[in-house]
Structure 1
Amino acid sequence: MKTTGNTILVTGGGSGIGLALAQRWHDAGNTVIVTGRNAAKLEAAIAGRANMSAAQLDVTDADAIAAFAKDIVAKHPNLNVLVNNAGIMGTEDASAKRDLAEAEATVVTNILGPIRLTDALVDHLAAQADAAIVNVTSGLAFVPLPKAPTYSATKAAMHSYSVSLRAQLEGRVEVIELAPPAVRTDLTPGQSTREGYMPLGEFADEVMALFAKVPTPDEILVANVLPLRNAEAAGNFPQVLEMLKSL
């Protein structure tokens, strides 16, 4: 993936990792579009930034995704990079019967959302030069956080989906997986100040340095996420899982 001269669409770009990366890509000389459900956050994200625009999108709404894709391609015919970043995370007690509404919303947002948006844009992207799809997963795709079973499962699913998509689009569209560690964002209550989590600015800086590598790695993995990514290969999966059980 080239580092400048792209037109990049970032879902969930009004806050957290999406916002930090969108603004850094903009600073690097890319045209950037951010989407999300909160109009105020989107407007704050693009304030004072030429060649950066915002559009509301609820990735849980299949019809809205289809309409959005047609509109965004008409407005930005040079769109060549899709970043599927929007996601939600919650904790659950799956040890007894419960209301599954939150689990089902997590599946729709974290799996169906990026699959649907990718499907709506893949033909356009495949016709562009230097096209790429970036799927934001998680270190929890590789070792789950037991208290967040559905979230962890959705990220494992998107890791697998990214591998398959990369194989199918080989030679036409780069498919890159970005798997963050625990980062200080507002994804969950109190996370933005939680001790031991990676500061957002440091994470974004390291990510941008990895994207600048030639060729771009299939997986963008900052140093903090490597213990999770490599746990199974290193033979210490049970120990890492036990550590996560204590969180």
Structure 2
Amino acid sequence: MDLAHRTVLIVGGTSGIGRELARRFAAAGSTVAVGGRNAQALADLSAEGFGTFEVDVTDDASVAAARDAVLALHPELDTVVTMSGVMLLEDLRDPAHFEAAKATVDTNLLGTIRVVDAFTPHLVGRGAGTFVTVTSGIAFLPFPPMPTYAASKAAVHAYSEALRAQLAGTGVGVTELVPPAVATSDQEQVNPQALPLDAFAAEVMALLAQEPTPHEILVEKVRMHRWAEREGTYDDLVAQRSRALSTLLGRKD
């Protein structure tokens, strides 16, 4: 992927990985717009020179309005990164967890589908472009305290594979970004071993710059998650990650 001459929309780019990638694409020479719900974060990014658009990926009308606004200002748009997501703890022994499950699926999976659906006609119509979907190492190696998060990201992986197959021959590619735990402000509280954001972003941009662009962007630290079943480490790693249940969910058994 030529990182210097693209017009990129990052949906869910107001913080963390998305915001850092927006800055990296811009530094490489691309035109970058950011969509999200946080008005203050959007204002801050606008002050940095980014185009900004309010969008709630759980709302069909909001996504459609954002699409129309983006394409009115950026008819040359060729790259759509969809990374809006929530990570919520759930205790599956408590039926009240279902509200968290619904919110997770609506944002992480259905939100991705809404954004992809909104921009597919444009990218297919121009005969070239790229979708970048965002999953997680947890899609391939579940983290038991966040079961629906894992399920939603596994679903986005499967959806990305199907989308790539269906768009074959249109000129539109699909690249799946698979982060490990990355040291954004949220992750620093949960996992002190998280990969520093700068290091993660630098590795991602180097992988994106490869020709051809890989179908999956796998930084070194996420490979143990992605290939755990193949390497025979899956059961042991899931057992290790299950230990977090007692700490994060306050279980005593």
Give the TM-score range, shorter chain.
Answer: over 0.9
Task: Answer yes or no: is 1:177 the counterpart of 2:155.
Answer: no
Counterpart in the other structure of 2:112? 114
- One-letter amino acid of the counterpart of residue 137, structure 1: T
Indicate conservation of the 8 Å contact 2:90/2:97, yes or no.
no
Shift of the 234–189 alpha-carbon distance from structure 1 to 2, 3 Å rule, reads closer
CA contact (8 A) 1:90 1:188 kept: no
CA distance in 2, matches of 1:223, 1:230: 11
Q: In the aligned structure 2, how far is the partner of 1:127 from the partner of 1:158?
A: 24
Match of 1:244 among 208, 230, 241: 241
Q: 1:180 Cα shift? A: 0.2
Segment of structure 1 superposing worse, 172-181 or 70-79: 70-79
State how far apart, in whole Å, the 2-side matches of 1:99 and 1:215 are: 42
Name the residue aligned to 1:26.
Answer: 26
**8 Å contact kept, 1:2–1:130:** no
CA RMSD of aligned residues (A): 1.4
The answer to whether the Cα contact below 8 Å between 1:184 and 1:198 also exists between their aligned partners in 2 is yes
1:1-247 equivalences under 5 Å are: 1-49=1-49, 52-128=50-126, 130-171=128-169, 172-187=171-186, 190-191=189-190, 194-247=191-244
SS in structure 2 at match of 1:111 = helix
What is the identity, as a one-letter code, of the residue corresponding to 2:71?
V
Letter of the 2:13 counterpart: G
Would you say the 8 A contact 1:137–1:155 is kept in 2? yes
Offset at 1:176? 0.2
Q: CA deviation at 1:179?
A: 0.4
- Gapped runs of 5+ residues in structure 1? none
Equivalent position amino acid for 2:176 in 1: E
Q: Does the 8 A contact of 2:188 with 2:194 survive in 1?
A: no
* Matched residue SS, 1:77: coil
Structure 2: 5+ residue runs without aligned partners? 245-253
Is 1:13–1:86's contact at 8 Å kept on the other side of the alignment? yes
Q: Name the amino acid aligned to 1:113.
A: G
1:97 Cα deviation (Å)?
A: 2.3
Q: Deviations over 1:108-138 (max 9, x none)?
A: 0001111011111101011235400000100
TM-score, normalising length: structure 1: 0.94
SS in 1 for 2:119: helix
CA distance in 1, matches of 2:233, 2:151: 20
Q: 1:187 to 1:84 in 2, by over 3 A?
A: farther
8 Å contact from structure 1 (residues 81, 131) kept in 2:
yes
Deviations 1:52-102 (A, max 9, x none): 211111111111111221221122100111101110001100023224212
Greater helix fraction, Structure 1 or Structure 2:
2
Q: Distance in 2 between matches of 1:225 and 1:135?
A: 16
Q: Which segments of structure 1 move beyond 6 Å, counting only runs of 4 or more?
A: none
Cα distance in 2 between the residues matched to 1:137 and 1:99: 22
Which digits, 9 at most, give the CA deviation of each residue in 1:137-185, with x for residues without a partner? 0000101100100000000000000000001111321100000000111
Is the CA contact (8 Å cut-off) linking 1:14 and 1:34 kept in structure 2? yes
What is the aligned length?
243
Identity of aligned residues (%): 44
Distance 2:46 2:168 in 1: 33
Structure 1 residue aligned with 2:249: none
Matches of 1:121 and 1:214, distance apart in 2: 24
Q: What's the CA shift for 1:189?
A: 7.6
Task: Deviation per CA, 1:5-33: give whole Å up to 9, x if none.
Answer: 11101011111000000100011111101
**Kept after mapping to 2: 8 A contact 1:80/1:129:** no
